[in-house]
Structure 1
């Protein structure tokens, strides 16, 4: 009976330990492969990124070297292109901004090696002799007609290079110095002013006023190279200039260094707020711009939002109710 009962019971499936180990081993194998592939992928990305950074750095070094060579050889347009490429990829690359500014100056000098003069600036040949030409140059200097004075002195030197050499050199220096100074301060012709002051320096060292003015003009040109390209650097350079020469101006834009600094502060604030998500940094730029005047519509809108993010209102604590409990007093009993 028991044998019959046992034979009618279902048989329990026997587990195969070898098959179980096989699947576990296979799963582990695939996990190892997956981890290896993932690690290799990340490693490949890192290697590629590092390689690209190294390649860009090497490329910038080559561009700087080529720009320096072109600058030394007087090929200013080529030099500008090399330095401009560097600034677009790494604005803080040492010497790139200065090289670009120098190339731009060189281009302006190359384009006009002889100053552009109005028809009255070229005197007609004077046949009265060197004495008369000398007297005419003196009269032009006394009248403050610097460009015509230089033209008269050029004619005098052409007629007789040895005539009153020391005096003529002094007249050259004074006329060129004054012409360069006036071009910067009165005409906003920064490149032209630098050019004439540099010519004056051939006849003697510049005085501190003229030399400082030339330095300010160069700094303005350097700052302008970052205009609408890198607002952070525009703020940096125009901020420096605005601190000691806010009224130096550029005839092309008809804006002073102070005005440029004011506008650059607002645009840099917009950049920090909209692109960099730096509300506090943006608000700092807007606050500095307010020192010059009211913000424009875009900056004012962003400034308000930046302030709310950077200085959120603090929650006002709810007043705590004070419950006054009257303490009963005992009524004294009369004995």
Structure 2
């Protein structure tokens, strides 16, 4: 007896058929999604490869254009260098090869010297000079990095930095930590060389560039010493006290930094001379003593002894027609004041002193101005 449409067997068969249809639909959906992902991946790879090839083509075009400009300017050596760069990137480029062949027949110049940074080949040097397929192109990041290391080792700071700039422009993701460290070391080396050449402001700027890349306690301390030294030089002859303060801070940190010790001897002596001209002999004693301790000239000791004597017994000027060892005084009677005002010049201390002498009472003149001009 056949099953009725509402029998349990018919119901089970219908459910199984429905499940199979859903299973087939799910499998088809998964396959479609996988196919879409595969297509996207292939397109992405092709796009990246095309972008790299486009970048290389742009460089080749630029090299050829520059080479042609040099040919027009009758500079065959420079033209050869540019065209060789183009062929290094694209060995099969007919335009560059034809231009080189033409130069070989028309130019009588000697072969161009090998550039300090040789052309970077995009194919292994021992391979046949055939045009590489797009998926065989190797970016020259390793070569650039090696050349930057060699330039840094040779203290060719500008060349090393230029190579690192080229590397980062070509592939910013290439070993970023190693590239940053090499750039830091290059900048630090350049700063030290500038400092040794007495180019202090330039050195300070390079120190700051290096410390922007990473913190370094030793380099930061040296940078601060350079800054103090520049401050000291900016006050030289203008304010001896501030000059001594700046140089003293450097000396306390690193006594052998540049010529700080010699400058401290000169600055302390000059400060003491200034104090003596102002009549501050006791303060001048301390500065002369400091100058002697820093290795000042032998005559500073005699200045110190003289300052000690004047500190204990300050000199008192006397009025005479022709003061001994001094130019004749110029005198003027202050109108209605009952006082005599006169000036004397001391060749020994290279200073003018202005005195006031009361016409009545005490006969001791009073210093009212020194170092007058």
TM-score normalized with structure 1 length? 0.49
Q: Which has the higher strand share?
A: 2
Q: Greater relative contact order (Cα 8 A, min sep 6): structure 1 or 2?
A: 1
TM-score normalized with structure 2 length? 0.44
User: Which structure has the larger Rg over C-alpha atoms?
Assistant: 2
